[in-house]
């Protein structure tokens, strides 16, 4: 690779995704000079802003990281989604806003991650958000990330919440408040029905303090003097020198890949960190589709689309703000989300297909799976090794959740007027699961935070055995939070920027 003359800044932030956008913005606001390296293109496009554009942006701005064949799913070869665009996965995801549970973060602290208990991270959750329900001891207002109730009101969503309460579950007025358990409408990071990612909330609004954003420049490897990270070499030959630190925010697949390419990992040429790329975790999801007795988004005609467009423009809600989880039920083990639409996605190409048949989708998420995988390099490219259904306890618990969701829809009176039959009839449970379990791209854990020999970063997010090198993204999470991972990633970035700003 031909090297170009070096550029420099106090901080070089690798990745302008959900974490990197916040880290770069907050460091710049503190007075530091910052260069952000981002391999993807601009997020200033309508298919990013509008929920209806998710199908397009998921296909066009996606790393689609390759996976090895999965023996637990009959050798199926998958790809793993991650946003390749300014805003990262926060620019292509479903915008479902879930913090997780206090117990998730208290468990991090109990495992040695001092400073990451729920009481420690709650102020950062509150600082990030501008919650339409108003501030209280759990929720924040005035932050850069707008959080609202899902703007698509549909009778299937209302019926699902009623069915859950008929079955004995509580109605929860705010699952990001005092308790997560129970049924409610979903919360989304949207402002007047349009996506409010961390790139839009932070990078665009820093004015004169805005970091220098180098789009379409992929970080290839970190360069070291001894064990001190001094610069980043990019795919276009540029060398970016870091005066204070290199901060990796490339996600749970991209970040370990950069470390491994840079000689930081098992038997690494710079430093031996055996756990780099290990501890890969992802939520397991049973995706079930049902025929509907009432019209759904699948059969919207020209008149309905025109009305939906007018509603989005004038009120910021309606059918064009729809997301894959519009109402949710949280139990101890599961998150069950419902969407009045059915679709299929080709995981190899990212292409989504919508049939013109009224239907709805039920996603049963296993919140705390036991299975673990890893990220390794195949040449210079990362590859995910993860047998999704290999752990028998995970398969059993996911099937239990799927059975519960089917029983709720079949048996509760509230669903009878809207639900017909499932598109796929009952079969042997594990066979059904092998065919219908999917990823919704919640990868974490591959640069685990901790104080033991298996940690990659310490609680101050420093890569062990190195100097001037930090990781601030979902890869440092020791375990999965109970729910969608974007809100926890933004919280982590907010706190990580604070740690960096004080020079810890």
Both tokens assigned to 91 = 């620019």
Is residue 181 within 8 Å of residue 172, measured between CB atoms?
yes
Known catalytic residues? 442
What is the rounded CA–CA span in Å between residue 16 and residue 39? 9
CA 142 to chain centre: 23
What is the rounded CA–CA span in Å between residue 337 and residue 406? 12
Question: What end-to-end distance do the CA atoms of the chain give, in Å?
Answer: 35
CA 186 to chain centre: 16
**What is the CB neighbour count within 10 angstroms for residue 303?**
8
Is residue 393 within 8 Å of residue 369, measured between CB atoms?
no
Instruction: Say if residue 167 is exposed, middle or buried (CB neighbours under 10 Å; 0-12, 13-18, 19+).
Output: middle
CA angle (63 as vertex; 59, 65 as ends), nearest 5: 115
CA 405 to chain centre: 23
Rounded-to-5 percentages of helix, strand, coil across the chain: 30, 25, 45
DSSP 51-102: GGGHHHHHHHSB--EEB--BGGGTTB--EE--B-BTTGGGGTS--B-----H
């Amino acid at each position: 690779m031909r090297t170009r003359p070096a550029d420099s800044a106090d901080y070089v932030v690798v990745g302008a995704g959900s974490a990197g956008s916040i880290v770069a913005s907050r460091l710049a606001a503190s007075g530091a000079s910052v260069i952000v390296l981002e391999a993807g293109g601009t997020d200033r496009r309508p298919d990013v802003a509008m929920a209806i554009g998710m199908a397009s942006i998921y296909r066009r701005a996606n790393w689609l990281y390759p996976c090895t064949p999965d023996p637990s799913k009959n050798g199926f070869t998958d790809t793993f989604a991650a946003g390749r665009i300014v805003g990262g996965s926060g620019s292509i995801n479903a915008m479902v806003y879930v913090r997780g549970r206090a117990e998730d973060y208290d468990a991090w602290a109990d495992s040695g991650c001092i400073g990451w208990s729920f009481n420690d991270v709650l102020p950062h959750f509150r600082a990030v958000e501008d919650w339409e329900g108003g501030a209280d001891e759990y929720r924040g207002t005035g932050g850069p990330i707008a959080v609202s109730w899902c703007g698509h009101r549909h009778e299937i969503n209302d019926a699902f919440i009623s069915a859950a309460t008929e079955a004995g579950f509580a109605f929860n007025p705010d699952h990001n408040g005092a308790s997560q358990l129970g049924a409610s409408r979903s919360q989304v990071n949207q402002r007047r029905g349009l996506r409010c990612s961390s790139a839009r909330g932070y990078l665009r609004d820093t004015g004169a303090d805005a970091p220098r954003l180098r789009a379409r420049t992929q970080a290839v490897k970190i360069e070291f003097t001894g064990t001190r990270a001094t610069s980043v070499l990019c795919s276009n030959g540029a060398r970016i020198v870091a005066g204070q630190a290199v901060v990796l925010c490339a996600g749970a697949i991209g970040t370990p890949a950069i470390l491994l390419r840079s000689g930081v990992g098992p038997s690494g040429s710079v430093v031996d960190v055996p756990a780099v790329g290990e501890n890969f975790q992802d939520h397991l999801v049973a995706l079930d589709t049902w025929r509907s007795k009432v019209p759904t988004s699948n059969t919207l005609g020209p008149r309905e689309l025109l009305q939906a467009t007018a509603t989005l423009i004038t009120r910021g809600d309606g059918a064009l703000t729809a997301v894959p989880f519009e109402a949710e039920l949280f139990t101890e083990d599961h998150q069950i989300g419902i969407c009045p639409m059915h679709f299929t996605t080709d995981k190899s190409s990212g292409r989504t297909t919508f049939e013109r048949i009224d239907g709805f989708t039920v996603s049963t998420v296993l919140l705390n799976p036991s299975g673990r995988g890893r990220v390794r390099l195949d040449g210079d490219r990362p590859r995910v090794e993860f047998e999704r259904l290999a752990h028998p306890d995970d398969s059993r618990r996911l099937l239990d959740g799927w059975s519960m969701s089917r029983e709720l829809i079949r048996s509760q009176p509230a669903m009878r007027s809207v639900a017909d039959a499932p598109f796929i009839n009952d079969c042997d449970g594990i066979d059904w699961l092998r065919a219908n379990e999917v990823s919704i791209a919640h990868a974490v854990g591959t640069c685990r935070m901790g104080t033991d020999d298996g940690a990659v970063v310490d609680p101050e997010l420093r890569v062990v055995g190195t100097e001037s090198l930090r990781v601030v993204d979902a890869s440092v999470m020791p375990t999965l939070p109970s729910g969608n991972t974007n809100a926890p990633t933004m919280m982590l970035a907010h706190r990580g920027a604070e740690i960096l700003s004080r020079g810890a």
